[in-house]
Amino acid sequence: MLHELKNHRGAQGYLRLTGVPAEGLEHGCDSGIDLAYLQDQIPDLRDLSKSSQDLANDTEDLLALIELPQFHSPEDSGVSGVDPRIRSQLAELQLRPDRVLHFGQDEGLPRQDTLEFSRLEAWSCQLQGRVWDPNSLSSFWFELVNGAYGDVYRAKGLMNLPDGRAFFCNWMVSQSGSQFLPLEQLAPPDGRPNRISALVVQGKALDSNGIRSTIADCLLTDAVLELHQAPQRERQSQPTPAN
């Protein structure tokens, strides 16, 4: 899907609908992670949540990716498989999707996602301005997705590293291994980065105190961050040798 959006010659956009609450079930918080990652990959990507009322009047060549959160596996395919309450949200925006993909049904999306599980807890943590010790992030992620802090079914995050890079970390119980996708944009070596950074987790019996406490042990202090950034600034200030 990312590839399709990237290669589209016209305008590109992204919209995440809010979803509909259900008894005993909790929506995973997105914390803006998907939009931030997509905007890093496609700098001109429009955040349609800010202009959704105008969507119907938008340019005809707009390709929009719309996320439709719902709890249950659809009985039908395509639009008719979408929860009627979410269909009405689309109708309010005067949107008629050209194509609807469902987790577990359509190629291009994982065969299984968290849809099969009930009574999942959702936990999230804002990490804006926070920078991880890289090896600590690796250990924490390993522990998180292998069950050290409860039965985790889904985890994703945008994490900053001290060299200015950030990674989209993505894991779901039905997939083998985690994705660690680097963002294109580098943060300058000058204090704390101001891009969106967050972690969202879904699972059962989540040990939120344990997660929080381990994260605190992984994040760099100002002094340690400066130790990483000072040599980077020095390198950048050196003149490039003439050919």
Partner 1 sequence: MHHAVISCLHANLAAFEAVLEDIDRQGIERITCLGDLVGYGPQPNEVVELIRHRAIPTCQGCWDEDIIDGLNACECSYPSQLAERRGHRAHQWTDEQLSQDNKDFLATLPTSLRRGRQLFVHGSPNSQHEYLLPDMDAFAALERVETAGADTLFCGHTHQPYVRELRDGSIRVRVQSSDSSQSAEQELKLPVRRIVNAGSVGEPRHGSTKATYVIHDEDNGSVEIKEVSYDVERTCRAIVDAGLPEVFAWRLSHGFEYAERAEDASHVCER
Interface with partner 1 (CB under 8 A): 133-136, 138-140, 143, 146-149, 207, 210, 214, 217-218, 220, 224
Using the minimum distance from each CB to partner 1, give the nearer residue, 103 or 123.
123
Smallest distance from the beta carbon of 126 to partner 1, in angstroms? 20
In whole angstroms, how close is the CB of 114 to partner 1 at the nearest point? 22
Least CB distance to partner 1 at residue 135 (A): 3
Q: At closest approach, how far in Å is the CB of 132 from partner 1?
A: 9
Q: How far is the CB of 134 from partner 1 (least distance, A)?
A: 8
Residue 47 or 143: the one with the smaller Cβ distance to partner 1 is 143
Element (H, E) at 155: strand 151-160
Looking only at the bridges linking them, the beta strands covering 198-204 and 121-126 are antiparallel
Rounded-to-integer distance, Cα 211 and Cα 157, Å: 13
Nearest to partner 1 of 65, 218 (CB atom): 218
Look at residues 173, 179, 185 and name the one whose alpha carbon lies nearest to residue 157: 179
Is residue 113 a contact partner of residue 172, using CB atoms and an 8 Å limit?
yes
Token pair recorded at residue 65: 């990716």
Nearer to partner 1, 17 or 218 (CB): 218
- Provide the CB-side half-sphere exposure for 37 (13 A, CA): 21
Residue closer to partner 1, measured from CB, 35 or 220: 220
Sign of CA dihedral 38, 40, 46, 47: positive
52 or 197: whose CB is closer to partner 1?
197
89 vs 229 by CB, closer to partner 1: 229
Least separation in angstroms between residue 186's CB and partner 1 is: 22
Where do runs of H (alpha helix) occur along the chain?
Answer: 2-7, 33-41, 84-92, 134-145, 208-218, 222-237
CB of 163 to partner 1, least distance (A): 15
Long-range contacts, 146-151 (Cβ 8 Å, 24+): 148/210, 149/206, 149/207, 149/208, 149/210, 149/211, 149/214, 150/121, 150/203, 150/204, 150/205, 150/206, 150/207, 151/203, 151/204, 151/205, 151/206
